[in-house]
Structure 1
């Protein structure tokens, strides 16, 4: 797995957190942390993020599994190119284009149950409750997570998909952690300016995936055709 892809996943997570401040900021502010105990509060916030990263890694396992299946079928090049194109189209096409094909409607009832479970844990200050809130929060609909999952899908094996999503989750930690400490200073005008970076990051990520699929033999960016077909176990049959 290219180090450039991991860095791109980390940066995508960092930039995505600008979007998360607006969407998940209220949840972070509602976390039942020990506000008069800085050390315990920090550990509780870490527990919350570990829960989110666990969910993202699990989703990376699922999408990496399907990506591996397509890789074995010799479709990894086309999958990487397609994933990159979809990510770029998510930015370039008007939002109403995707609203016509709402894929989340059948899941509304499940999302409601997730939110109810989160609400029950918001009443407790245990580390398990904070971890559970993060775990459940990771399953809530998020366009930025969807974009990252396309990246995980284009990986060639399950482990790479999991690592990709774990790095994405790690990238979201710093800014979301600051919400509990500096939220009053992150004004709406500042958030609006920062969110303008998100489309450019998604496009760059999409371009990296497309280059990866074009097998141009560029170190750390676009592997050669031969490297794509190297298998862990030789086929001597």
Structure 2
């Protein structure tokens, strides 16, 4: 199987990271150098020996590691299901589902339709079991604990993550699924790193409605372009830069 193009997945993470500002923005703001009273999330960081970027890298390394693990599971399980149920039907159905999820994500980012929020309830059971573990990592006084917190936080129920996991399922293997989620996570990294250094002010700016609408329209465009591509049967290679292609045999 040829791997799914990772560039559009990276772009989805980059533009969709305005959602991360709401979901994870509070915790990453706690890593900044702003006074404790100004932090949007009550996470005690006991040490100031490491600069904010170093703390953020430790946290995000754990978060990306969890994304890759989820992608590997999705890609591996779906690969087995594809082998049992037939390649063609799985690819076509999965491709349409992946792009419909992008449409839903774009509307979600714009606050035009909150249906994707219902998908987030699928992960509540797992998160309820993992969340108490975050208390054992306090105080966050070293890179290992920050990595552990990021690894746990990567399983926070998130409709945006779930929408990209559908793409990871199409990737053809566990390794490709992990690569898809790594590309997505790297796309979210610039925004979260910037918030970790700049603090809550940047988070507030990103959460402004015009910014969310612009980001949502871009992600919505990716999904609509992919659907149009499938409906028209177009296979132009330049489209791989802007929409998710199905993995080919």
TM-score class normalised by the smaller sequence: 0.7 to 0.9
**Cα deviation 1:25-56 (Å, max 9, x = unaligned):** 11121362743542xx4333211111011110
State the match for 2:39 in structure 1.
Answer: none
Residues 1:112 and 2:125 are matched in the alignment: no
Distance in 2 (CA, whole Å) between partners of 1:211 and 1:166 is 27
Distance in 2 (CA, whole Å) between partners of 1:86 and 1:116 is 30
Residue pairs, 1:118-197, within 5 angstroms: 118-186=134-202, 188-192=204-208, 193-197=210-214
> Structure 1 unaligned runs (5+)?
230-237
Distance in 2 (CA, whole Å) between partners of 1:153 and 1:219 is 22
User: What's the C-alpha RMSD, in Å, of the aligned pairs?
Assistant: 3.0
| CA spacing shift, 1:89–1:108, aligned 2, 3 Å | closer
Question: How many aligned positions are there?
Answer: 220
Distance in 2 (CA, whole Å) between partners of 1:157 and 1:26 is 34
**Contact 2:26 2:200 (8 Å CA) reproduced:** no
| CA spacing shift, 1:209–1:109, aligned 2, 3 Å | same
Distance in 2 (CA, whole Å) between partners of 1:119 and 1:2 is 39
Distance in 1 (CA, whole Å) between partners of 2:215 and 2:181 is 17
Distance in 1 (CA, whole Å) between partners of 2:120 and 2:201 is 36
State the match for 2:101 in structure 1.
Answer: 86
Distance in 2 (CA, whole Å) between partners of 1:9 and 1:137 is 21
Residue pairs, 1:207-226, within 5 angstroms: 207=224, 209-210=226-227, 216-219=234-237, 221=239
TM-score (norm 1): 0.77
TM-score (norm 2): 0.74
67, 71, 89: which is aligned to 1:56?
67
State the match for 1:16 in structure 2.
Answer: 16
**Cα deviation 1:1-39 (Å, max 9, x = unaligned):** 568x3111111111222111122111121362743542x
Residue pairs, 1:38-49, within 5 angstroms: 38=51, 41-49=52-60
Instruction: Quote how far apart the aligned CAs of 1:98 are.
Output: 5.7
State the match for 2:48 in structure 1.
Answer: 35
